[in-house]
Amino acid sequence: MKRKVTLKQIAKELDVSVSTVSKALRNSKEISLDTRSKVQAFAKLYNYRPNNIALSLKNKRTKTIGVIIPEIVHHFFSKVISGIEKEANNRGYNVIIGLSNESFDKEVINIEMLANGSIDGFILSVAKETLLLQDYHHFYETINQGMPIVMFDRVVNEIACDKVVVDDKLGSKKAVAKLIDSGCENIALITTKDYVNVGKLRTQGYLEALEEHKITPKSSLIIKVEENKDKEIEIETLEKEISALLDKEKSIDGIFAVNELYAITAMKIAINKGYKIPENMSIVAFTDGVLSKHAIPSLSTISQHAVEMGEKSATMLIDKLEELVDEEKYQTEVINTTLIERDTTR
Amino acid sequence: MKRKVTLKQIAKELDVSVSTVSKALRNSKEISLDTRSKVQAFAKLYNYRPNNIALSLKNKRTKTIGVIIPEIVHHFFSKVISGIEKEANNRGYNVIIGLSNESFDKEVINIEMLANGSIDGFILSVAKETLLLQDYHHFYETINQGMPIVMFDRVVNEIACDKVVVDDKLGSKKAVAKLIDSGCENIALITTKDYVNVGKLRTQGYLEALEEHKITPKSSLIIKVEENKDKEIEIETLEKEISALLDKEKSIDGIFAVNELYAITAMKIAINKGYKIPENMSIVAFTDGVLSKHAIPSLSTISQHAVEMGEKSATMLIDKLEELVDEEKYQTEVINTTLIERDTTR
DNA sequence: TTGTAAGCGTTATCAC
DNA sequence: GTGATAACGCTTACAA
């Protein structure tokens, strides 16, 4: 086993000084061509690679980005990460991942763990619990220490930092408009409670779309799901609510759900109840993922372009780190949504 | 903006030496109680946190694990990561992610990037291209430098390192046995080409299960999918093959597919052709994921316990890093598979 | 009880 | 053209 070789060892072996080796390897013309080639040959032979940690300490930058997300077993977030990773790697950065599991404490711990020199900046999406508690001290502290943050998707408006978001309201409007255009007149909404920002915005989009088309929203057509750590329970509860809704409101001919899973759940129940999709029931979901694509029938969705969100977040962060952009100026990038028409709409 | 405070600054401020501060913070009783509390109070006030990079350099360990996987937008891999992350965090380690995108070059680059001091050890699943090229020099070099590797799922048998695998053959046998037990007599197999190890093993399991039940395998019932970087094309091609197969072999009453997507694809076509599932067509997939769970009807699968694989991998790596286990002794952990019976089997 | 100095691996500055 | 030295932030053996 040959341990990693260091400058010191090369210097000793070749009987020159460490600084000579260092310069020779960077091909400095301070050093004679003779020495240079000798050193370089030796380094190559022993497969010398500079130690990143030493470089980080010296340069006060690690060339790595910290990413904190609520969960990773989630199509949207893993897509965002793949976007971040792609852009980061292109620009010579590594990516270190922390999971908050939607917990405030884990988010704080993860941030503290990474903020002590391990990374140059954060890209993150805020945990639900944090949003609920509205305790943002860890973000403020990080920013105060001069470490830049880019928030994506679940952002905190009042914090001064770069942000990458989707136009949730507009996305919803597109979805609902599609349903209306294809002839739906009684469109149900399946959304989350309002404290999750995106749920709130998507609900607004639904309402506005109806109003713009002179349709009076009826609260009896809206289900607001209480989220549960145990998804099974959440979905079971939702199933009952949907079933009751469809039994009571026979006129429903369209459903807009704020995420794939709610939409799939609704579709399953509708199919069981004998609805023909999309003939007498159309469905659109926010958030495009594998589930929608491979469902039978495949679901029409609003795509959030997650990969693009990741890329954009990384670009913004790295630009700031490399001072290509004014340190004090914060931007909010809005990523477009697109309607993907598949088999649940006419 | 208050930049991060260092030992040096505290020392200067309090007019003591750096080492006194260092010791005081670690509550060494070498230092007078008076000084200790003074230093600790000051450190607390200024929210002092030791710089991880400096510690890493000093200790020659970073307390971070490098994970290299083929893709992250993939239920199995993201589950494994969540397992790794959980165990790593419990033991005070961070996780840094590299994606190979199934490419040999990207795998090599990622490993080289991280192997230069950034991490203490690797957990990885080998890229398909690497498997195909059978060029493993980057693994050998890493191990030679004294950096431990744990391979999971897609492993290279000939490399001496710890491994965590699933018993693919046995898992397949369970799946096929289930089909046979529930009355299927003509079971089709949808698998990958043999160079992907898991595809090969799963095929073997299928064959053995048939033989053990005195059923003669028929090659006409087997589809070997040519994988394609463009999944769309891969699936389109597969759709045609399945359709042709079902048209030709009317007696098929069961399908075993080596992954979810192949199974879903088969199911879609079978449904279109008027088969009733599971009444006259049963389906089981290897690999449990969201797709299976939420498909309509929901798919019976063989679960690989991905989270457990991740946890186990992390445990093995960290045990080795912390020398709780013999450095020279390599183990292969086999994770059990379980049959999850849902609505596509009787 | 406190401080000095060396060392982790690297690079930049300056002296020879 | 080469090398000694200091510095990045921290710990620790040893000296005072």
Are both B300 and B173 inside the same structural domain? yes
Residue type, A250: K
Strand C proximal to B57 Cβ, under 7 A? yes
Are both A292 and A230 inside the same structural domain? yes
- Contact A3/B94, CB-based, under 8 Å? no
- Contact A53/B144, CB-based, under 8 Å? no
Alpha helix positions (H), A134-190? 137-144, 168-181
Residue B212 sits at the vertex; the CA angle it makes with B206 and B214, to the nearest 5 degrees, is 105
Are both B112 and B205 inside the same structural domain? no
Are both A174 and A300 inside the same structural domain? yes
Are both A256 and A173 inside the same structural domain? yes
CB atoms within 10 A of CB B158: 8
Strand C proximal to A147 Cβ, under 7 A? no
H helix count then E strand count, chain A? 14, 12
- B124-156 pLDDT tens trace: 999 999 999 999 999 999 999 999 999 999 999
* pLDDT attached to residue B190: 97
Per CB-CB distance under 8 Å, the chain A contacts of B294 are 261, 264, 291, 295
- Contact B3/A79, CB-based, under 8 Å? no
Alpha carbon distance, N-terminus to C-terminus of chain A:
65
Per CB-CB distance under 8 Å, the chain B contacts of A238 are none
Are both A77 and A183 inside the same structural domain? no
Residue B93's alpha-carbon distances to A110, B63, B96, B238, B338, in angstroms, are 11, 5, 10, 42, 30
Identify whether A296 is part of a domain.
yes
Identify whether A344 is part of a domain.
no
Cα(B68)–Cα(B111) distance, rounded to whole angstroms? 8
Do the strands A121-124 and A254-257 form a parallel or antiparallel pair, or are they unpaired? Answer: unpaired
* pLDDT attached to residue B163: 98
Identify whether B341 is part of a domain.
no
Looking up residue A232, the CATH number of its domain turns out to be 3.40.50.2300
- Contact B73/A73, CB-based, under 8 Å? no
- Contact B96/A99, CB-based, under 8 Å? no
Per CB-CB distance under 8 Å, the chain B contacts of A261 are 294
Identify whether B22 is part of a domain.
yes
- B225-243 pLDDT tens trace: 998 888 899 999 999 999 9
Are both B106 and B85 inside the same structural domain? yes
**Final residue in a domain of this structure, among A11, A31, A50:** A50
User: How would you list the strands of the sheet with B338-340, edge to edge?
Assistant: B222-225, B187-192, B254-257, B282-286, B300-303, B338-340
> Torsion-angle region of residue B183: left (phi > 0), alpha (psi -120 to 50) or beta?
left
A residues 258-277 lying closer than 8 A (beta carbon) to B: 261, 264, 267-268, 271
Are both A199 and A116 inside the same structural domain? no
Task: Spell out residues with C-beta < 7 A from strand D.
Answer: A 15-20, 23, 29-32, 34-35, 54, 57-58, 60; B 6-8, 18-19, 22-23, 25-26, 30, 50-51, 54-55, 57-58
Q: Are A226 and A193 in contact (CB under 8 A)?
A: yes
Identify whether B340 is part of a domain.
no
Cα(A98)–Cα(A115) distance, rounded to whole angstroms? 12
- B43-77 pLDDT tens trace: 999 999 999 999 999 999 999 999 999 999 999 99
Q: Which one of B290, B303, B308 makes the best mutation probe of the A interface by having the most chain A beta carbons within 10 Å?
A: B290
Are both B161 and B229 inside the same structural domain? no
Identify whether A198 is part of a domain.
yes
What is the residue-level pLDDT of chain A in tens, covering all 346 positions? 777 899 999 999 999 999 999 999 999 999 999 999 999 999 999 999 999 999 999 999 999 999 999 999 999 999 999 999 999 999 999 999 999 999 999 999 999 999 999 999 999 999 999 999 999 999 999 999 999 999 999 999 999 999 999 999 999 999 999 999 999 999 999 999 877 777 899 999 999 999 999 999 999 999 999 988 888 899 999 999 999 999 999 999 999 999 999 999 999 999 999 999 999 999 999 998 999 999 989 999 999 999 999 999 999 999 999 999 998 899 999 999 999 999 999 9
Domain containing residue B268 = 168-304
**Final residue in a domain of this structure, among B50, B72, B87:** B50
Are both A46 and A56 inside the same structural domain? no
Paired with B222 in beta bridges are B189
Cα(B129)–Cα(B211) distance, rounded to whole angstroms? 33
CB atoms within 10 A of CB B292: 26
Strand C proximal to B6 Cβ, under 7 A? no
CB atoms within 10 A of CB B8: 11
Residue B162: pLDDT above 80?
yes
Beta strands in chain B (DSSP E): 64-69, 94-99, 121-124, 149-152, 162-166, 187-192, 222-225, 254-257, 282-286, 300-303, 332-335, 338-340
Cα(A112)–Cα(A299) distance, rounded to whole angstroms? 41
> A241 to chain B nearest CA, in Å?
18
* pLDDT attached to residue A212: 96
Per CB-CB distance under 8 Å, the chain B contacts of A285 are none
- A222-246 pLDDT tens trace: 999 998 888 889 999 999 999 999 9
> B188 to chain A nearest CA, in Å?
21
- A5-57 pLDDT tens trace: 999 999 999 999 999 999 999 999 999 999 999 999 999 999 999 999 999 99
Length A19 CA → C12 C1' (Å) = 10
Q: What are the φ and ψ backbone dihedral angles of A95, each rounded to 5 degrees? A: -125, 130
The token duo for B135 is 């060029």
Cα(B203)–Cα(B210) distance, rounded to whole angstroms? 11
Identify whether A340 is part of a domain.
no
The CA radius of gyration of chain A, in Å to the nearest whole number, is: 26
> A177 to chain B nearest CA, in Å?
27
Do the strands A94-99 and B94-99 form a parallel or antiparallel pair, or are they unpaired? Answer: antiparallel
CB contact B81 to A (< 8 Å): yes
State CA B166 to chain mean position distance: 11
**How many domains is chain A built from?**
3
* pLDDT attached to residue B1: 72
Identify whether A190 is part of a domain.
yes
- B164-190 pLDDT tens trace: 999 999 999 999 999 999 999 999 999
CB contact A73 to B (< 8 Å): yes
Are both B221 and B252 inside the same structural domain? yes
* pLDDT attached to residue B13: 93
Looking up residue A33, the CATH number of its domain turns out to be 1.10.260.40
Q: Which one of A25, A73, A102, A262 makes the best mutation probe of the B interface by having the most chain B beta carbons within 10 Å?
A: A73
> B288 to chain A nearest CA, in Å?
13
Among the listed ranges A87-91, A224-228, B275-279, B312-316, which one has the minimum average pLDDT value?
A224-228
Are both A114 and A149 inside the same structural domain? yes
Count of all residues that appear for chain B in the document: 346
Q: What are the φ and ψ backbone dihedral angles of B284, each rounded to 5 degrees? A: -130, 140
Q: Which nucleotide is nearest to B5 (CA to C1')?
A: D9
Per CB-CB distance under 8 Å, the chain B contacts of A57 are 51, 53-54, 57
